[in-house]
């Protein structure tokens, strides 16, 4: 899952890992609105990041901070990478979070002290 800043729209910069290939398109689905677009303005660096520019203004306007996007990057008709994107206005600083350790299970939770 990628958590992106909604203020960066219409660009989706996703941290990725995937297969070798040359991206030709990305299917972007708004899970709440059940609408989708095919973006062709895409760059992809294997095992690093993908930058997708959405040009459909109606689709951009349908995205809210609580929206979940499903993104599938294709090389022709072969999927190279797929992931989920969630948005936030601000993640806060690292100091806002603590790690809880018990029986080799780790939980990240917000520290409200």
Winning range, highest mean pLDDT, from 16-20, 46-50, 109-113: 46-50
Q: Residue 112 has what pLDDT?
A: 56
User: Are the beta carbons of 16 and 81 closer than 8 angstroms?
Assistant: yes
Q: List pLDDT tens digits, range 28-58.
A: 999 999 999 999 999 888 778 889 999 999 9
Model confidence at 20, pLDDT cuts 50, 70, 90, reads confident
Mean per-residue pLDDT, 17-34: 88
Q: Which two tokens stand for residue 36?
A: 């989708």
Task: Give residue-wise pLDDT tens across range 67-110.
Answer: 999 999 998 888 988 999 998 865 554 554 445 555 555 555 55
Owning domain of residue 102: 2-110
Tell me whether residue 26 is exposed, middle or buried, using C-beta atoms within 10 angstroms of its C-beta: 0 to 12, 13 to 18, 19 or more. buried
**Number of structural domains found in the chain:** 1
- The dihedral through the CA atoms of 72, 68, 15, 5 has a sign that is positive
Distance between CA atoms of 103 and 6, rounded to whole angstroms? 36
CATH number of residue 47's parent domain: 2.60.40
């Amino acid at each position: 899952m990628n958590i992106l800043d909604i203020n960066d729209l219409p660009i989706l910069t996703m941290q990725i890992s995937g297969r070798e290939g040359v991206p030709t398109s990305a299917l972007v689905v708004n899970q709440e609105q059940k609408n989708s677009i095919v973006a062709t303005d895409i760059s992809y660096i294997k095992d690093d990041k993908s930058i997708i520019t959405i040009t459909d203004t109606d689709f951009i306007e349908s995205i809210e901070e609580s929206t979940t996007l499903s993104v599938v990057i294709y090389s022709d008709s072969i999927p190279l990478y797929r992931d989920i994107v969630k948005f936030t206005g601000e993640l806060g600083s690292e100091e806002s979070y603590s790690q809880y350790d018990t029986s080799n299970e780790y939980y990240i939770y917000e520290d409200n002290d």
